[in-house]
Amino acid sequence: MCGIVGAVAERNVVEILLEGLKRLEYRGYDSAGVALLEQDGSLTRIRRTGKVQELVDAVAQGSALGTTGIAHTRWATHGGVTEANAHPHFSSERVAVVHNGIIENYQSLRESLREKGYTFTSDTDTESIAHSVHEELKAGASLLLAVQNSVKQFHGAYGTVIMDREDPSRLVVARSGSPLVIGLGLGENFIASDQMALLPVTRRFIFLEEGDVAEITRREVTVFDKDGQLVEREVIESNVEHDAGDKAGYRHYMLKEIHEQPTVVRNALKGRLGEKDIEADIFGAGADDIFAKVKHVQIIACGTSYHAGMTARYWLEQYANVSCGIEIASEFRYRKSVVHENSLLVTISQSGETADTLAALRLAKELGYMSSLTICNVLGSSLVRESDLAFMTKAGAEIGVASTKAFTTQLTAFLMLTIALGKHNGLSEEHKDNIITALHSLPSKLEETLAITQGIEDLAEEFADKNHSLFLGRGDQYPIAMEGALKLKEISYIHAEAYASGELKHGPLALIDEEMPVIVVAPNNELLEKLKSNVEEVRARGGIMYVFADKDAHFASDETMRVINVPHCESPIAPIIYTIPLQLLSYYVALIKGTDVDQPRNLAKSVTVE
Ligand code: G6P
């Protein structure tokens, strides 16, 4: 989704801004632009549709130079993908604005600004921010006050940065709904929508809170809260690796991130998994006291994180004996739901900024949930700040839009949560020991599983010319089948559906023919015989199957079925292990199809608007 970078420095900031935009490319965008306050007092703007590289090339043709500047990658919401709609937007060559989010009342703002004589040169909601601020400046307000007054008129979500040609030493920024992070330098300061953009220049960050407006100069950062009160915000030292943006020799970030899974899962377990038990309070100070009272868990998430939550429901009910509901955040937030007694709300998010998940958390607080926990990958993100308890998944920066290592660390976290909650609800010693033993074996099992890559590359060849596919699983492998289908559609654009295989007879069997490959995940568990019957149903209708199976499950390849053996693993970690071949399958199919693996069309890494 849209990205913002801004800087106030003594040096020329062009390179910092462009490098920042490149580091935000992974979030998804369709055009990019930069505006600079030049030494001679003029305001320069360069914008391009397409990739950031086109903007970089355009900048290189001129001699843009400025010590204060803002830059943006746009993901179109209001108005098509055109240069005129790309940010920064200007008001009369004086005010420059970049904006993430949506100003919902932009139509009425436009009308009243037109009446005041402003001309609009784009179809965006953002341009009304520029003119509103300009109007305040004309009335004599400082840039800070102009922004504080203007934002009072805005309904919707915004992370916005504003620059005034007549006050070149500062940027004023405002946050409501779309994240912004201030980067602190030495004699220079920065702003961005994501810390990744600023890691080459600083590791010290202030994460702005809802309603904050801040003034940034070279030497000072001043933050005001939603009531206009001066506030001190905590400075956080980032633990994200500076080189997280490197592909480390891999062809794509996604492949690198798939291969990082043994390491990041090891990190997620470190200091949390003891020899025979999990450590105390790993879900936050006081978590165990809260967990002792929990009678019901409600999980809320979107996308891949939702699939982690679906898997967790099987575990929480099967092992921990805790009732559990799971819902997509965008549904939960707009329907009336019943809150069970002593309910814990669990949100899951790699980014910690997904608009629907955040809105669901805020709603849950009003509804009276006993407590909230987030399982999240980004320290300092909104979900982490606004939840009572937080568990950091420690997957490191995930750049590929299609989530891989964030997912497997989320599942790892949920196995530990199963133990933490199960202790108070009748988790048997046998199940606890099984989960602990399985978790200890998890990093090395992931390594073993990654070693089957070659077989999957070959399989992808057979697959790549298909237009549709069906993924099947049962029990806690059903959400894994759904995640496999999601990965395939996200990056290869092949239509993929997932079904719990017991549901085959109720519709999907009608689709089976040799043009519809069927992918089956088949660990050796108590549902294996049932699954085998489902496989026979597909075979009887002439379906072609690709079965990822435990070798002890005794599937054999023949003319209608290709079997890929997956290393044997303990049952609790099987969903994590079987995720790996499905990730690899979609990756290699996408590679053959030549799609943009890391930045698939129309998708964004972090969906910060509704
Ligand atoms: C986007 C991303 C997905 C992600 C989903 C939820 O659609 O492309 O990879 O699963 O958002 O994001 P979250 O950050 O809340 O996990």
Which helix (H) or strand (E) element contains residue 359? helix 355-367
Q: Pull the structure tokens for residue 313.
A: 């429901």
The position carrying tokens 């939550």 is: 309
Of all protein residues, the one whose alpha carbon is nearest to atom 15 of ligand 1 is: 349
What is the residue-wise DSSP string for 46-84? EEEES-HHHHHHHHHHTT--EEEEEEEEE--SSS-S-TT
Nearest CA-CA partner of 252 in 457, 400, 371: 400
How many angstroms is it from 205 CA to the middle of ligand 1?
23
Degrees (nearest 5) of the Cα angle 559, 580, 525? 70
How many Å apart are CA 107 and CA 124, to the nearest integer? 10
What is the residue-wise DSSP string for 234-255? --EE--S-GGGG--TT-SSHHH
How many Å apart are CA 447 and CA 127, to the nearest integer? 51
How many Å apart are CA 98 and CA 508, to the nearest integer? 47
Q: Pull the structure tokens for residue 187.
A: 């004699």
pLDDT digits (tens, 9 = 90+) for 313-340: 999 999 999 999 999 999 999 999 999 9
Nearest CA-CA partner of 184 in 219, 138, 147: 219
pLDDT digits (tens, 9 = 90+) for 433-491: 999 999 999 999 999 999 987 679 888 988 889 999 999 999 999 999 999 999 999 99
Counting ligand 1 atoms within 8 A of each CB, the residue from 346, 354, 375, 408 with the most, and so the one to mutate, is 354
State the pLDDT confidence band at 177, using cuts at 50, 70 and 90: confident
How many Å apart are CA 539 and CA 551, to the nearest integer? 20
Q: Pull the structure tokens for residue 382.
A: 């909104």
- Helix pair angle (574-593, 429-450), 10° resolution: 20
Atom nearest to 490 CA in ligand 1: 8
Helix, strand and coil content of the chain, in percent to the nearest 5, comes to 40, 25, 35
Provide, rounded to the nearest whole percent, the portion of the chain with pLDDT above 70. 99
CA-only gyration radius of the chain, Å:
25
pLDDT digits (tens, 9 = 90+) for 337-385: 999 999 999 999 999 989 999 999 999 999 999 999 999 998 888 899 8
Atom nearest to 301 CA in ligand 1: 15
Atom nearest to 406 CA in ligand 1: 16
Q: What is the DSSP letter of 558?
A: B
The one-letter amino acid at 270: K
How many angstroms is it from 351 CA to the middle of ligand 1?
7
pLDDT at 605 over 90: no
Residue 571, number of CB atoms within 10 A of its CB: 18
How many angstroms is it from 306 CA to the middle of ligand 1?
9
Q: What is the pLDDT of residue 204?
A: 93
pLDDT at 245 over 70: no
How many Å apart are CA 381 and CA 379, to the nearest integer? 6
How many Å apart are CA 380 and CA 52, to the nearest integer? 27
Atom nearest to 402 CA in ligand 1: 9
Q: How far is CA 210 from CA 161, 191, 381, 475, 609, in A?
A: 15, 16, 11, 40, 14
pLDDT at 246 over 90: no
The one-letter amino acid at 130: A
The one-letter amino acid at 119: T
How many Å apart are CA 57 and CA 143, to the nearest integer? 32
- All residues at 6 or more sequence positions from 424 whose CB lies less than 8 Å from its CB, including other chains: 291, 292, 294
Three-state DSSP state, 371: strand
Tell me phi and psi for residue 497, to 5 degrees.
-125, 150
Which helix (H) or strand (E) element contains residue 140? none
pLDDT digits (tens, 9 = 90+) for 546-568: 999 998 888 889 989 999 999 99
Rounded mean pLDDT of the chain?
93
State the pLDDT confidence band at 239, using cuts at 50, 70 and 90: confident
Tell me phi and psi for residue 192, to 5 degrees.
-155, 165
pLDDT digits (tens, 9 = 90+) for 209-233: 999 999 999 999 999 999 999 999 9
Contact 282, 391 (CB under 8 A): yes
- Cβ < 6 Å from ligand 1: which residues? 302-305, 349-351, 354, 357, 401-403, 603, 605-607
Counting ligand 1 atoms within 8 A of each CB, the residue from 348, 350, 401 with the most, and so the one to mutate, is 350
Atom nearest to 403 CA in ligand 1: 9
Counting ligand 1 atoms within 8 A of each CB, the residue from 361, 376, 605, 610 with the most, and so the one to mutate, is 605
Alpha carbons within 13 angstroms on the beta-carbon side of residue 567 total: 20
Of all protein residues, the one whose alpha carbon is nearest to atom 3 of ligand 1 is: 303
Q: Pull the structure tokens for residue 203.
A: 């590791």
Q: How far is CA 432 from CA 413, 426, 575, in A?
A: 15, 10, 17
Of all protein residues, the one whose alpha carbon is nearest to atom 4 of ligand 1 is: 303
The arithmetic mean of pLDDT across residues 156-181, rounded, is: 95
The arithmetic mean of pLDDT across residues 174-198, rounded, is: 94
Q: Specify which residues 205 forms β-bridges with.
A: 183, 236
Task: Say what the alpha-carbon torsion angle 391, 392, 395, 398 is, to the nearest 10 degrees.
Answer: 110
Which residues are annotated as catalytic? 2, 605
Nearest CA-CA partner of 402 in 53, 27, 22, 2: 27
How many angstroms is it from 605 CA to the middle of ligand 1?
6
How many angstroms is it from 300 CA to the middle of ligand 1?
12
How many Å apart are CA 348 and CA 329, to the nearest integer? 10
Q: Pull the structure tokens for residue 181.
A: 């992070």
How many angstroms is it from 269 CA to the middle of ligand 1?
23
How many Å apart are CA 310 and CA 326, to the nearest integer? 6
Counting ligand 1 atoms within 8 A of each CB, the residue from 196, 300, 302 with the most, and so the one to mutate, is 302
Q: Do you know the residue count of the chain?
A: 610
How many angstroms is it from 350 CA to the middle of ligand 1?
7
Of all protein residues, the one whose alpha carbon is nearest to atom 13 of ligand 1 is: 349
The position carrying tokens 């001129």 is: 62
